[in-house]
């Protein structure tokens, strides 16, 4: 889960070359934690980490954590800061068709320890993903699509679906470029639907993965309770996998 949450496509595309590596861990520092285009740290920096297990059969599981900063009743005299930590659990099965198309079926459970139960932050999502790497093509493009569904999304917002498409390019000197666009649907209130997108530049340096990205949504400030958490922003991060 990068500074935007970990994209399962990244692991899905690499499943054939990482099958021997059963355990791994990742640590990340970012100037913001943006999830589906919205800041989950109110614009503040984030410290994130994950522990992952992957069996050669394709079965995988992991846990991921980050600091967060949510504000209930923002702008009022009774503003309450709710939730300071997010811990997610995930698992599934990833493999590859004979034609080289990777696929992933799994589930994620998002938790916010210490938050008031009345806010009903915790929720789970089912996921499905497909990915393909054009290894013999210039810039070695990797494409992917992801689909998530929750019967009771964050904050008791009801049935929700999120779909995203990604394109990653390999550039000279270990640079990379990434592009993604996603759509969040709320089936009980279509007025909440929105689109987010991201453009990023990555660089591998001495075992560290660096990224600078611009992310934005089509939400207005009024859509986000007159807060700027949905505005466009530049996010920088550095991570390392062990």
- Domain spans, the chain: 8-241
Across the chain, which has 242 residues, the per-10-residue mean pLDDT values are 47 46 91 97 96 94 94 54 89 95 97 88 97 95 97 95 97 96 96 97 96 97 87 97 92
Contact 48, 83 (CB under 8 A): no
Q: Bridge partners of 97?
A: none
- pLDDT the model gives residue 15: 44
Q: Other C-beta atoms within 10 Å of 115: how many?
A: 19
3-class DSSP state of 191: helix
CATH architecture of 8-241: Beta Barrel (2.40)
What distance in Å separates the CA atoms of residue 81 and residue 50, rounded to the nearest whole number?
25
CA 166 to chain centre: 12
- pLDDT the model gives residue 20: 58
C-alpha distances in angstroms, 47 versus 30, 84, 85, 121?
Answer: 7, 12, 10, 20
Instruction: Look up residue 5 and give its DSSP letter.
Output: P
Q: Bridge partners of 30?
A: 46, 237
Please give the torsion angle defined by the CA atoms of residues 225, 230, 232 and 233, in that order, rounded to the nearest 10 degrees.
110
What distance in Å separates the CA atoms of residue 17 and residue 21, rounded to the nearest whole number?
9
Characterise 115 by phi-psi region: left (phi > 0), alpha (psi -120 to 50), beta (else).
Answer: beta
Q: State the alpha helices, DSSP H only, in the chain.
A: 8-13
Q: Which residue has the tokens 């290894």?
A: 135
What DSSP assignment string belongs to 118-183? GG---EEEEEEEEEEE-TTSTT--EEEEEEEEESS-GGG--SEEEEEEEEEEE-GGGEEEEEEEEE
- pLDDT the model gives residue 17: 41
What distance in Å separates the CA atoms of residue 157 and residue 46, rounded to the nearest whole number?
25
C-alpha distances in angstroms, 191 versus 57, 134, 185, 234?
Answer: 42, 38, 9, 27
């Amino acid at each position: 889960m990068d500074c935007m949450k970990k994209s399962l496509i990244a692991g899905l595309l690499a499943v054939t070359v990482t099958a021997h590596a059963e355990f791994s861990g990742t640590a990340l520092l970012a100037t913001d934690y943006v999830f589906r285009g919205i800041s989950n740290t109110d614009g503040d920096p984030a410290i994130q980490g994950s522990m992952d297990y992957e069996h050669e059969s394709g079965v995988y599981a992991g846990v991921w954590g980050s600091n967060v900063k949510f504000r209930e009743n923002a702008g009022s005299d009774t503003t309450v800061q709710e939730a300071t930590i997010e811990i997610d659990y995930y698992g599934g099965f990833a493999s590859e068709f004979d034609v080289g198309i990777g696929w992933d079926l799994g589930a994620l459970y998002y938790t916010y320890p210490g938050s008031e139960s009345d806010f009903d932050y915790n929720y789970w999502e089912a996921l499905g993903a497909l990915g393909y790497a054009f290894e013999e093509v210039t810039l070695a493009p990797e494409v992917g699509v992801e689909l998530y569904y929750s019967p009771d999304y964050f904050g008791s917002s009801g049935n929700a679906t999120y779909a995203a498409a990604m394109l990653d390019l390999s550039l000279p000197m270990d640079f990379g470029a990434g592009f993604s666009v996603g759509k969040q649907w709320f089936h009980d209130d279509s007025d909440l639907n929105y689109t987010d997108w991201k453009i990023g530049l990555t660089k591998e340096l001495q075992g560290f993965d660096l990224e600078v990205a611009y992310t934005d949504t089509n939400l207005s400030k009024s859509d986000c309770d007159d807060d700027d958490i949905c505005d466009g922003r530049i996010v920088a991060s550095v991570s390392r996998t062990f």
